[in-house]
């Protein structure tokens, strides 16, 4: 009896020793739970859902990350770095966030043959999509003048500064900044060793791993039934893991001058709102910033050129809703997007 007792004591001591050395995991059988953090940021809402055994991040931490990005890239903050740059005559100091986004924006400008251009802000303002309202479309003369200081060739880096060649050059990074913000939040989750999550900010989404039930993340895709309406039906769903999905469209933000509608998406090469009958573009890509930039690139390029370009991009899904010559709403997508469709 004494020998048997000694045997069990030795087993317990060995087990405790292994536990102390980290070779046994006390929480091995503890099931994962779903945690949700949500709030307001960048003029919209954000949501983080992750499955883990314990809550390891706080709303304060995520809000602090988004606040830091706002201080760099928000046009709504007069004290932000991007606002300081726009108000300057020669340029200004920038931080890591702004440099990263501007560098990527320039890359996508070359990829899109000049269609994706963050220096389009003066033209957007002319058409009434800035802070000053407008009751009339700009004249051809105003557009021609603004085009003189639009183009990424007006920008250049010097050490820790972003400089401009024309004092009236201004930038707007909204076409890529929210996707970048999503990626930054995901990097934070990765550092916290969280493997299963979905992050959404203003409709821009990035996923990792699976749900708490071990399934891929389901994302609803809006299919607008008109170019300039308010009918945003979700009639498609995609299942994704370790991928991002974003949507850009003319159907949510537009101006009406007289009887004619004008989208907020400006063609920087001619200085006028886009008019190629594309209503929305949804992109699946490896990260949210890439998807965010590409949905704008594809919108500007048009259907044929977009499908030609996406053939050269790995792990990229493309879904386009458009209006045909008969005025009917149609959609089209590539094989990578179709492979992730759950229902039609």
For residue range 63-76, what is the model confidence (pLDDT) as tens digits? 999 999 999 999 99
Looking at residue 264, what is its pLDDT?
Answer: 86
- Rg (alpha carbons) of the chain, rounded to whole number: 24
User: What is the b/e burial string over 56-77, where b = at least 16 CB atoms within 10 angstroms of the residue's CB?
Assistant: ebeeeebeebbeebbbbbbbee
The DSSP line for 292-331 is: HHHHHHHHHH-HHHHHHHHTTSTT-EEEEEEE-TTS-EEE
Looking at residue 332, what is its pLDDT?
Answer: 94
DSSP element (H, E) containing 284: strand 278-285
What is the 3-state composition of the chain as percent helix, strand, coil, each rounded to the nearest 5? 35, 30, 35
The residues, ordered by sequence, that sit 6+ positions from 267 with a Cβ below 8 Å of its Cβ are 115, 273, 274, 300
Looking at residue 221, what is its pLDDT?
Answer: 87
Looking at residue 142, what is its pLDDT?
Answer: 96
Looking at residue 6, what is its pLDDT?
Answer: 46
For residue range 108-133, what is the model confidence (pLDDT) as tens digits? 999 999 999 999 999 999 999 888 88
Distance between CA atoms of residues 39 and 201, nearest Å: 10
SS3 87: helix
Structure-token match 């009339």, residue found:
136
| Domain architecture of the chain: domains with CATH | 33-343 (3.10.520.10)
Kind of pairing between the strands at 278-285 and 244-249? antiparallel
DSSP element (H, E) containing 278: strand 278-285
Residue numbers of the chain with a pLDDT score lower than 50:
1-16, 18-19, 22-24, 26-28, 226-229, 231-233
Distance between CA atoms of residues 17 and 320, nearest Å: 59
Looking at residue 141, what is its pLDDT?
Answer: 97
């Amino acid at each position: 009896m004494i020998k048997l007792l000694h045997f069990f004591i030795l087993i317990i001591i060995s087990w405790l020793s292994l536990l102390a050395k980290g070779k046994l995991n006390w929480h091995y059988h503890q099931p994962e739970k779903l945690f949700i953090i949500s709030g307001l940021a960048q003029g919209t809402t954000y949501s983080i859902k992750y499955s883990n055994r314990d809550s390891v991040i706080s709303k304060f931490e995520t809000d602090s990350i988004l606040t830091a990005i706002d201080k760099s890239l928000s046009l709504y903050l007069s004290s932000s770095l991007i606002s300081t740059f726009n108000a300057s005559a020669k340029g200004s100091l920038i931080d890591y966030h702004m440099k990263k986004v501007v560098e990527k924006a320039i890359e996508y400008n070359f990829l899109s043959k000049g269609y994706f251009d963050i220096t389009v802000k003066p033209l957007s303002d002319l058409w009434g999509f800035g802070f000053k309202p407008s009751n009339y479309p700009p004249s051809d003369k105003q557009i021609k003048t603004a085009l003189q200081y639009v183009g990424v060739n007006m920008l250049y880096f010097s050490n820790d500064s972003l400089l401009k060649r024309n004092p009236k050059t201004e930038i707007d990074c909204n076409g890529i900044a929210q996707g970048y913000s999503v990626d930054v939040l995901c990097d934070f989750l990765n550092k916290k060793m969280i493997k299963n999550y979905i992050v959404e900010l203003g409709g821009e989404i990035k996923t990792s791993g699976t749900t708490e039930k071990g399934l891929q993340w389901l994302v609803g895709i809006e299919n607008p039934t008109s170019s300039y309406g308010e009918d945003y039906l979700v009639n498609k769903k995609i299942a994704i893991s370790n991928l991002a999905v974003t949507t850009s469209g003319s159907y949510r933000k537009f101006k009406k001058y007289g009887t004619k509608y004008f989208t907020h998406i400006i063609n920087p090469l001619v200085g006028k709102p886009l008019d190629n009958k594309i209503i929305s573009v949804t992109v699946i890509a490896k990260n949210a910033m890439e998807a965010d930039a590409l949905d704008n690139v594809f919108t500007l390029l048009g259907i044929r050129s977009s499908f030609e370009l996406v053939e050269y991009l790995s792990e990229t899904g493309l879904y386009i809703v458009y209006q045909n010559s008969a005025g009917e709403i149609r959609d089209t997508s590539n094989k990578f997007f179709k492979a992730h469709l759950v229902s039609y």
